[in-house]
Amino acid sequence: MPRGAASARATRDPRPAAGRPIEAEYRPRTPIDAHRAIALQQRGAHDPAQTTAAGVIWRASRTPQGIATIAVRVERTRVRAAAWGPGAEWMLDQLPRLCGADDDPAGFDPGRHALVADVHRRHADLRLGRTDLVFDALASAVFEQKVTALQAFGAWRMILTWCGERAPGPTPRPLFAPPADWHLVPSWTWHRAGLEPPQSRTIVAAARRRGGVESAAASADTGEARDAVFTSLPGVGVWTSAEARIRAFGDPDAVSVGDYHLAHQVGYALTGHRVDDDGMVELLEPWRGHRQRVIRLLALSGVFEPRRGPRLAPEDHRRR
């Protein structure tokens, strides 16, 4: 078991009173930034599947045991959670991994670059969380192919609200779990949501092979093997595969090659000037095995290239 992981599953009350949620408590062996690990799973400020209110993270999911909602409060030495719905036990059992318990930083050498070393010193508790929900991670990544975050998050919000299932529990606002049958979402609904046909066709085609994809990706024991599973699907390239691996499995080495901004950000932070994808891969090579960890640390560094022009204006081809 990786260092920093719990010695057992989250401690759970097996006999909650009638009408009350199932509750659990997770105590990491070493300090971890569980709040950041979970918060990074949220797809935009208005994600219908995840929100934060009064310091509590609320997350709706469609688990292998059914729909569920989990409410998570991160405290100094423990993480407290309550869950509702048929998949509540699954959500609580998975809680340590969502918080980053399976992320093992052993072998990571931040001292190869002064900036990385400085940020790591300030954020030594950084961990990569995982959802273990393979298809939903893949689908959310496909939504974000070749569009702005604003467009992707808007389409995600609409599809989940229109086609997902209302999450149980006293959520601070209505939350929705992703659809059970992505391939049954009508073409006109994808269009109304603003998702382009190539993306919707990719999700529908992948959904028809969902069981096999989930099983193969979950049983693969390396990032390369999972990459092969995802990129075997029509419309799924290396960027989408990397994003799915990061979200579903907390892959510490995944690099989203082909991202519109990432290579520029990494190059500027490490060298003071832009690089292309090949240059980014070369810069990150000394940290192979932990390249996603370095990318996360650089995002926390506060070192960003100054903007040189206006933001990209989203295009909307829907009829008014």
Q: Which residue has the higher pLDDT, 24 or 12?
A: 24
CATH class of the domain at 11-111: alpha beta
SS3 call for 36? helix
pLDDT-based confidence at residue 317 (cuts at 50, 70, 90): low
Residue with tokens 């509540």: 88
Q: How many residues does the chain have?
A: 320
Residues contacting residue 319 through CB under 8 Å, at least 6 positions apart: none
Its pTM surpasses 0.85: yes
Question: Span 18-24, mean pLDDT?
Answer: 81
Q: In this model, does residue 204 exceed pLDDT 60?
A: yes
pLDDT-based confidence at residue 7 (cuts at 50, 70, 90): very low
Instruction: Convert the pLDDT of each residue in 100-126 to its tens digit.
Output: 999 999 999 999 999 999 999 999 999
**Which two three-digit tokens encode residue 203?**
């999700």
> pLDDT at position 11, please?
66
Where do the domains of the chain lie? 11-111
Q: In this model, does residue 312 exceed pLDDT 80?
A: no
In Å, how far are 259, 266, 275 from 271, measured between CA atoms?
19, 8, 9
Instruction: Convert the pLDDT of each residue in 74-97 to its tens digit.
Output: 999 999 999 999 999 999 999 999
Instruction: Convert the pLDDT of each residue in 138-181 to its tens digit.
Output: 999 999 999 999 999 999 999 999 999 999 999 999 999 999 99
> pLDDT at position 306, please?
86
Helix axes 277-284, 262-271, angle to 10 degrees: 50
> pLDDT at position 232, please?
97
Instruction: Convert the pLDDT of each residue in 256-303 to its tens digit.
Output: 999 999 999 999 999 999 999 999 999 999 999 999 999 999 999 999
> pLDDT at position 3, please?
37
> pLDDT at position 15, please?
47
Instruction: Convert the pLDDT of each residue in 213-262 to its tens digit.
Output: 999 999 999 999 999 999 999 999 999 999 999 999 999 999 999 999 99
Phi-psi label, residue 206: left if phi above 0, alpha if psi -120 to 50, beta otherwise: alpha
Residue 157 DSSP code: H
Instruction: Convert the pLDDT of each residue in 29-48 to its tens digit.
Output: 999 999 999 999 999 999 99
